[in-house]
Amino acid sequence: MAGGNAIRGSRVGAGPLGESERGEIAPRFWVSYWCANGHETRPSFSSEAEIEAPETWDCPRCGFPAGQDRENPPTPSRNEPYKTHLAYVKERRSDEDGVAILDEALAALRARRGR
């Protein structure tokens, strides 16, 4: 069923493809990066910019760092598991400190309730 919408499937700013409509493409160079899983990534960089390609690049497939040396890719960093607030408190306080703080809080609560 035709909906009468002439631009269906199009997006704002879309136009005919090709260099004649959009201008010349800037000169680019590509650098290959490999991660520990063997994935290759080839981002492109501007040849006119006066910067060098970075040493490492994040692999878009697995998220590991990727380097320019295929035989020696960088090792993935070890991520610490998420810690809750309670885990951090337990690192700083001993069990005896925890019992003392709990007793103090319970005493204050009972005093407010009138017991």
Q: What residue numbers does the annotated binding site for Zn(2+) cover?
A: 35, 39, 59, 62
Binding-site annotation: residue ranges = 35, 39, 59, 62
User: Distance between alpha carbon 80 and the CA centroid of its chain, in Å?
Assistant: 15
Instruction: Provide the total of helices (H) and of strands (E) in the chain, helices listed first.
Output: 3, 6
Phi, psi angles (nearest 5°) of residue 110 = -65, -35
Tokens of 1: 């069923």
19 Cβ contact partners less than 8 Å away, ≥ 6 residues apart? 25
What are the helix (H) ranges across 1-115?
A: 19-22, 85-92, 95-113
